[in-house]
Structure 1
Amino acid sequence: DLTRERSKKPPSQFGSKRSSERDCRVCGKSSWRQLQDLCRLAKTSCPALGISRKNLYIFEVDYLCNYKKVRDQEYYLVKWRGYPDSENTWEPRRNLRCAGILKQFHRDLERELFRRSGRRPRARPPRHLDAALVDFLVQKARQRKALQRWERELNAKRAHKGRISVENEVDLNGPPWDFTYINEYKVGEGITLSQVAIGCECKHCLESPANGCCPGVSLHKFAYNAQGQVRLQAGQPIYECNARCRCSSDCPNRVVQRGISYNLCIFRTADGRGWGVRTLEKIRCHSFVMEYVGEIITSEEAERRGQIYDRQGTTYLFDLDYVEDVYTVDAAHFGNVSHFVNHSCNPNLQVYNVFVDNLDERLPRIAFFATRTIWAGEELTFDYNMQVDPVDVESTHMDSNFGLAGLAGSPRKRVRIKCKCGTDSCRKYLF
């Protein structure tokens, strides 16, 4: 969103105009836009960065800080991108060509006025804003910029097709400061993943599986149909083709390993459950949605961390107890979108154990599949205290508090935690 050519010249302390771009030196880890800002600050043209004499004094609005109306003229206090707050200027509306930022500013203003009064705000904003309201608008604008940066970071790190968006229209909470996005397990100290030694020789793994393909070798059923939907009962393991198989990457028995394919949104819930995840597009019943990833640690380490998490008020421990309770996945500080998925007593996701390149049954990959058709805009949930039919094979289940609702639960000593899912079948407590 570009504004008019700014009427005042940049402050003189930024130096005189330089004739040669060779004099322009900046630190090594600056983004393209930061480099452009530095050129404008130094009043230096740089053809390589697209900064010429014609656009040298064209400035971009970072966000709007304040509003006032003098007679019939509307003015906005502008925070200019690349300039400190001390260089903010009041600009008449006619000079601003940033329709999106203007619209968002008035939307934030109307929501805060409604929150204060409980009544629908007037069609026109007040002529002057009080200090508390201005402070809120500035914090909201800064929060939105921080969430946009976080969204770009998440998408830069993701190794899957599905994009990630971030939204918070509820409070002023910004990105979690101690969370790192990863795409696969982060193996802890003293743990070794044993790589698979053989692969299948199938020409077409679904239509003509040789010796039962990879599932058949392990005496299990083929997991998917031609559309990639799981057809096994919950609790039965999924064996996908691996790196040593002759089939291609589009093999129908390679679903989980291809990663998240749906566009998802991490959003702030309005009912005190912290962050949540919703889908931005329709998800078919029995389709793969995402994996639960994090640090793989021993059960002893999980016990130690669990006691710390209890004191902090949250934990993200997921026991890998498919055959024995030896390892745990901790997604507190390293994880993917599943880190933000909330609990429900009537969930739309089901957990399956998946084996690909590592066949150690103590270290399955944890995959979420849709239990029904999930429509665009619907929140994704799973049951933290998942139980499977006793006739099924023993399955992975959640054995600790999960989510950002500020609740604590020891990974080994369960406490009664109130459930906030709000479904008709709510059990009232997580455990």
Structure 2
Amino acid sequence: MRSTFRPISNVHASVRLQLQKENMAQCLKDCWIPCKLSWDDLQALCRRQRLVCKQLHVSKNNFNEYVVEYLCNYRKIKKAKQRQKLRRWEDQLNQKCKHKGRMFVLNEVDLDIPPKDFTYITDYKLGEGVKVSQTAVGCKCADCVKEPTNGCCAGASEHRMAYNDSRQVKIRPGLPIYECNSFCSCGPECGNRVVQRGIQYDLCIFKTANGRGWGVRTLQMIKKNAFVMEYLGEIITSEEAERRGETYDKQGATYLFDLDYVDDVYTVDAARYGNISHFVNHSCDPNLQVYNVFIDNLDERLPRIAFFAIRAIKSGEELTFDYKMTIDPVVAESKRMDTNFSLAEIQGTPTQRMRMECKCGVEKCRKFLF
């Protein structure tokens, strides 16, 4: 019997097509082409189209996993917008302030942006019913610190000169400071002009990581007894302070500072109007001390509130003062000068007031602010 070989061209068309496919598949068995999409992109594409793909580990149970990636990108976008807002706020603060020290803003904790209901000011804002009378006298000293004439401005008020040659306060807390004013013959570099020169150190408003809100740290070393900043805000009457204080008490926060050097007539409210001191936190072991200062206004009911360093403060250290700071009446010139936040002075029984937990973290913490 003779066998006959038939070439592929003589095979039926359908059979010939099948043989061609088998031959091509055999040739391409070990070939591959790189995909332009990444593994993650292919997964996301399948999930968007709701396609099941075992090779990509995409099933009906994880169709919506791409939402996590979206939230991550959303957080990155929010963080970028936050940085822009903080930078703009930082620029606005430095444009308003003409003093030597610069201000910086940093938030590495959350997505909080600058407070919307707060206006930065560089001097007291007078509230309704508050009037300030300017002094009309000044000194004639050649050198107010080394050769004060008749005690310079402090001597005219029968008080000691407050500063040494290095502009560090040398009198005890509780005694008033009288600086040279606009009617004095001395220039802006006079050694008896300290508080009025403004902040001399670079400071940073930063978000705390332990739930204390914003805080302030110094970016430069501050010497002991050096002036750091003023406490500025809106000056209101004590009656208005009582009304606002009840509202602040319910909110668990207050920015009321009694001006009670001689009479409890006025209060500084830094809640809506203030400077960088608005963001300074409390500590039961503070590094800042309060002094009453008089410059152009000699009305003892309206002193300026100045913070001086109790000790040397390192660069990077947070600035704090005691919200319940009390001056020993034996040391203080006025027995009424206790310079404490007025939340404790709000009328009502202790059970009616909100006890605010202290988070300063120092060894001798009193556990509660009020």
Q: TM (normalized to structure 1)?
A: 0.68
Runs of 4+ deviating beyond 6 Å: none
Between the aligned partners of 1:72 and 1:284, the Cα distance in structure 2 is 59
Q: Report the 3-state secondary structure (helix = DSSP H, G, I; strand = E; otherwise coil) of the residue aligned with 1:202.
A: coil
Q: 1:206 to 1:338 in 2, by over 3 A?
A: same
Of the three residues 195, 206, 225, the one matched with 2:134 is 195
Letter in 2 for 1:131: Y
Structure 1 residue aligned with 2:300, among 352, 357, 361? 361
Secondary structure of the 1:130 match is: helix
Q: Distance in 1 between matches of 2:38 and 2:330?
A: 77
C-alpha distance 428-128 of structure 1, shift in aligned 2 (>3 A): closer
CA distance in 2, matches of 1:155, 1:388: 34
Letter in 2 for 1:398: N
Name the amino acid aligned to 2:269: D
Question: For residues 369 and 228 of structure 2, what CA distance do their matches in structure 1 show?
Answer: 23
Structure with the larger RCO, 1 or 2 (CA within 8 Å, 6+ apart): 2
- Whole-Å separation in 2 of the counterparts to 1:425 and 1:292: 25
User: Residue type of the partner of 1:357?
Assistant: D
Report matched runs for 1:6-405 at 5 Å: 71=38, 130-393=69-332, 394=334, 395-401=337-343
Pairwise CA RMSD:
2.1
Q: Distance in 2 between matches of 1:329 and 1:287?
A: 23
Counterpart of 1:421 in structure 2 is 360
Gaps of 5+ in 1: 1-68, 75-126, 402-408
Pairwise CA distance, 1:392: 1.3
Amino acid at match of 1:232: I
- SS at structure 2 position matched to 1:309: helix
Given residue 90 of structure 2, which amino acid in structure 1 is its aligned partner?
A: E
Identical-residue share of aligned pairs (%): 61
8 Å contact from structure 1 (residues 204, 247) kept in 2:
yes
**Deviation string, structure 1 residues 86-119 (Cα, Å, up to 9, x no partner):** xxxxxxxxxxxxxxxxxxxxxxxxxxxxxxxxxx
Stretches of structure 2 that go unaligned for 5 or more consecutive residues are 1-35, 42-65
Do the aligned partners of 1:349 and 1:369 also contact (CA within 8 Å) in 2?
Answer: yes
Residues 25-71 of structure 1 show CA distances to partners (whole Å, capped at 9, x for unaligned) of xxxxxxxxxxxxxxxxxxxxxxxxxxxxxxxxxxxxxxxxxxxx955
* 3-state SS in 2 of match to 1:155: helix
Asked if the contact 1:216/1:222 (under 8 Å) is kept, the reply is yes
More strand by share: 1
- Could you tell me how far apart the structure 1 residues matched to 2:151 and 2:71 are? 68
Q: Distance in 1 between matches of 2:318 and 2:194?
A: 22
Query: Which amino acid in structure 2 is aligned with residue 241 of structure 1?
Result: C
Aligned partners of 2:323 and 2:369 also within 8 Å: yes
Residues of 1 paired with 2:267 and 2:230: CA distance? 15
Describe the SS at the equivalent of 2:340: coil
User: 2:346 and 2:235 mapped to 1: Cα distance?
Assistant: 15
Taking structure 2 as the reference length, the TM-score comes to 0.78
Deviation at 1:315, TM superposition (A): 1.9
The answer to whether the 8 A contact 2:195-2:306 is kept is yes
